[in-house]
Amino acid sequence: MTQTLTLYPGQLDLATLRRFVFTPQTVTLSDTTAETLCAAAQSVERIVAGGAAVYGVNTGFGKLAKTRIPDDRLRDLQRNLVLSHAAGIGKPMPERVVRLILLLKVNCLARGFSGVRLDVVQILLDMLNRDVIPVIPEKGSVGASGDLAPLAHMSAVAIGEGEAFYKGERLPGRDALAAAGLRPVELGPKEGLALLNGTQASTALALVALFDAERLFQAALVTGSLTLDAARGTDAPFDPRLHALRGQQGQIECADVYRKLMEGSSIRASHQVDDERVQDPYCLRCQPQVMGAALDSLRHVASILLIEANAVSDNPIHFPDTDEMISGGNFHAEPVAIAADLMAIAVSEIGAIAERRLALLVDPSMSGLPPFLVHDSGVNSGFMIAQVTAAALASENKTLAHPASVDSLPTSANQEDHVSMATFAARRVGDINANVRTILGIEYLAAVQGLDFLAPLASSSALTAAAALLRKHVPFFEQDRLFTPDMEMADSLIMDGLLADAVSGTLTLPSIQAS
C-alpha cells in the first residue's frame, strides 16, 4: 500500500526524507498552501503592473540583467530561460535522486517566497505522484545561481519539452505528460527563474548519498566487530572509561556498540592466556576513534542538509506582504558543497580503516589464520586478490575525496565569479559510497571466513547472527571459485540494510540523527 506524505512547506524532517528516499510516497500539499501561493501570485501581478525593473521578472538574466523586457514578451522570457539553460550532459541522474529533487523544489516553492502560482507547484507534484521522472543529466552545474542546468531539465518537462521516463520508457516530455494524463504548464513572470534558481539538485544528491552512507557506517560497525573477533583482538581498548575521558560523543557511542556486539564471545577469552600481543594494531583498537569521528561528521552534514532541504534558495526572493523582490545569493550552494566534502572524507575513512582490517585478516603473521583465509594455500589463492580490489578502491577514494568546494571557475561573463561546485561535490560521494560498500562487503566475507576457521569457538550472539546471514547466501570458501558473485551478494546485504538488521535484536546502531 502506497504511503502518503502531507507536505507542510519548510518543515521536512530527516526521518521523512530518509523514508522518501528508500520508499517513494505520494505527496499532497497542506491545506493552507494554495492560499499562500495565491497571495504570492497576486503580489507578482502588482509588481509587474507597477512597471519597475525587477530582475528575472522583466529583465534578462545574469550578465543580461540590464536588458529590459517588454510586458508582451515576459512569458517568452521565462520559457526561453528554461530551454536555454537545459544544457546538461552525461547519464541521467538516478530516479530516487530526481524524485527527491522534485520534492525539494515543491517544498521550496510552496513556502510562498518565490512568486509562483499554484499551477507551477501542482505540475511538479503531479509529475512526482504519477511517476513522470524527468531525464536530468548528471553533469553541468557549478552549484551557484542555483543548479541551473539540472533544474532546467526538470522544468523543461513541466512545460512539455525535454525528456522523461514513464513506466520505464524514455519519452519526449510532452508525450510523458500526456501518457500520465497531464498537460504542460505555461510559465508566467518570474516562474521560470524560480524553477531554475535553487540548490535542490545538489541537496538531493547529497541527501541520497548521506542516507546511503548511514547504512555503510552501521554495516562497518558490524564488519569491524566481526574482524576484531576473527583476529582474536582484545576488548580492552573499548573500556568506557577511556572514551569518557576524551569526551567525543561519537567515539563514546561507537565504543559502546563494539562492546555490545562482542559481548558473550568465547573467542576473545580463549586467547588471553597464551597470547603474546600487548596491543592490537590501530585498525582494530582505534575503531571507536575513527568511526566516532565519522559519525560526528555525518551528523553535522545531516544538520546542514536538513536546513537546506527546507530553505528558500532561489533569486530574487519575493516578499508578498510588501510587494518586494530582493536580489541576493541564497542560490549559492557553498553550505552543501562544504558538507558534501566533509561527507566524502568521512566515508572514505570508513573504507580506509576497513581495508586495513581486511589486510590484517589475510596476513597469517597478523591474524593467526591460514594464509589468505583458505585451505591449501598456494594451490588456492583465497582472498588474495579480493584484498587487492579493496586496496584499489580505498586508493581511488583518496582522489575522489579531494575537496570540490575549494575550486571555482567564473561563469556568465564574470558576473558569477565564485561558484561552489556543490553538485559535483555531492555527486562524487555516490562513487565513494559504492567503493566503500564493496570494501565492507569483502571484509564481511573475510571476517566470517575467519570465524569459521576458529570453530568450535563461538562468537557473540549478535555477531553469530551477522555471520549466519551471510552463510545463508554465500558458502564457506573451501577452494578457489569466482569471487565477484560473493562480493555482489555481500554488497547487497549491506546496502539493503540487512546486515544492520541482523544485529538489531541486540542493540540499536547509531544513526545520523543525533540523540
- Given a contact cutoff of 8 angstroms between Cβ atoms, the answer to whether 282 and 473 are in contact is no
The string of DSSP letters for 265-320 reads -HHHHHTTTT---SS--HHHHTHHHHHHHHHHHHHHHHHHHHHHHT----SSEEET
Kindly give the pairing relationship between strand 4-7 and strand 26-29: parallel
Question: Half-sphere exposure of residue 12, counting CA atoms within 13 Å on the CB side?
Answer: 31
Residue 189, CA distances (Å) to 48, 114, 195, 300 in order: 8, 11, 12, 38
Report CA dihedral (93, 125, 38, 144) to the nearest 10 degrees: -10
Whose grid coordinates read 501518457? 179
Please say whether the beta carbons of 446 and 389 come within 8 A.
Answer: no
Q: Active site includes 55?
A: yes
Answer for the pair 150, 423: CB distance below 8 angstroms, yes or no.
Answer: yes
82 three-state secondary structure:
helix
CB 347 within 8 A of CB 430: no
Among candidate residues 339, 406, 327, the one with its CA nearest the CA of residue 145? 327
Q: Of the listed 8, 55, 166, 282, which one is catalytic?
A: 55
Q: Cite the active site residues.
A: 55
